[in-house]
Structure 1
């Protein structure tokens, strides 16, 4: 065998060796990947839930994660779990971290309800609606067209602040399609405030309320939709107070 043949043979042997190494590496990578994705070999051992919560159950959190995201610790998609957690009704914010070697850490910030919205939703303190209900919550009930949640909540807060000296509280607030304000107080009195300058009109009611409270008759409603003054409707003596 001459030198040229020897060189060719060495090159061919080197190529075969290189291909063998590459094949072995690929096979090894595939097997390692299979092993890592095998839930039985690398399961999520523990899901640790922390944060301050009253309406969210750690058991429900764990059930959702294990049901919706089966697989091994290495295969678990943290971003996907994060999205699913924040889609839960009472979860406002969530963070998810993998903890080596096989644990998952979840931190929750729960929704803080500020009002009932249109009877079937709740508003959080930022004026954002979320699909949940509360029985006997003592929260005010706000009504309004879609997209007016924050306007209604801000209006409620401004009005309640004005009413504070009287000791009265708003039980129900209605913001109409034309953005006119109507309010029912915890003593049953209804206030008609109209579309504009509701703060000034409500202040007018606060100023005159001590005089109305001295009357022997019970107030049914106060119409404040005037530039000056107001109109008072009185309950008939034989009329019993009803919830609206």
Structure 2
């Protein structure tokens, strides 16, 4: 009987001891968690930006990151920082990682603007739009219906390559709802190329323009929407005089 009571006492003593240990571990875990979450004990001291960028304001971006992630190094959510960074207008791609003990490393790939799109967006080399300011950027202007960005950019590149042989650039390019092409050159000549075989029609302009440039009047527009030939509009002397006076 004594032995049974002794075993029972030992069993309950072990249970109580185990419970005390578990409670102690739980309390220690909570305190450790609170300690790790405490920004004052383990702050993110350095946000290290790298990459090739000119338009990204990294000072502003760091403020946004710290505002969205006010906790410690351990509580910082890398995925949330990544989403925040890639949501910025001038960021094309980014990578984010922590570096022990107090650093956040961010590598940036900046958007490369190649054209303005519909006066309110910019285009990157892949025909993708992004919403950023274009002040100080000398970019050609492209216009077209939604979804035609890549088509317009591909057409621009093809035309630019052909016109570059003459030292002429494209100021504006417009693609209509019916996908007809109209181009404003940097010498103020407007080209109407229509919908079909626009590169062949542009080649026709390239072939004939040296003769047009020798004429006493300045060319206003060249309409190439014909199977053969073209129509030319001229600027009269009155308009030239007005331009010179202004």
Return closer, same or farther for 1:136/1:59 CA change in 2, 3 Å cut-off: closer
Give the match for residue 224 of structure 1: 224
CA drift at 1:189 = 0.5
Gaps of 5+ in 2: none
CA drift at 1:3 = 2.1
CA drift at 1:27 = 1.3
Give the match for residue 50 of structure 2: 50
SS in 1 for 2:182: strand
SS in 2 for 1:40: coil
Q: Distance in 2 between matches of 1:103 and 1:133?
A: 31
Q: Distance in 1 between matches of 2:136 and 2:183?
A: 20
SS in 2 for 1:232: strand
CA drift at 1:62 = 1.2
Q: Distance in 2 between matches of 1:61 and 1:3?
A: 72
TM-score, with structure 1 as normaliser: 0.95
Give the match for residue 202 of structure 2: 202
CA offsets, 1:166-219, max 9 Å, x none? 111000000111111110000000001111211111111111111111111111
SS in 2 for 1:238: helix
SS in 2 for 1:106: strand
Give the match for residue 33 of structure 2: 33
Give the match for residue 148 of structure 2: 148
Give the match for residue 64 of structure 1: 64
Give the match for residue 19 of structure 2: 19
Give the match for residue 94 of structure 2: 94
Q: Distance in 1 between matches of 2:183 and 2:75?
A: 54
CA drift at 1:117 = 0.9
Q: Distance in 1 between matches of 2:115 and 2:225?
A: 26
SS in 1 for 2:114: strand
The answer to whether residue 134 in structure 2 is matched with residue 134 in structure 1 is yes
Q: Distance in 2 between matches of 1:64 and 1:128?
A: 25
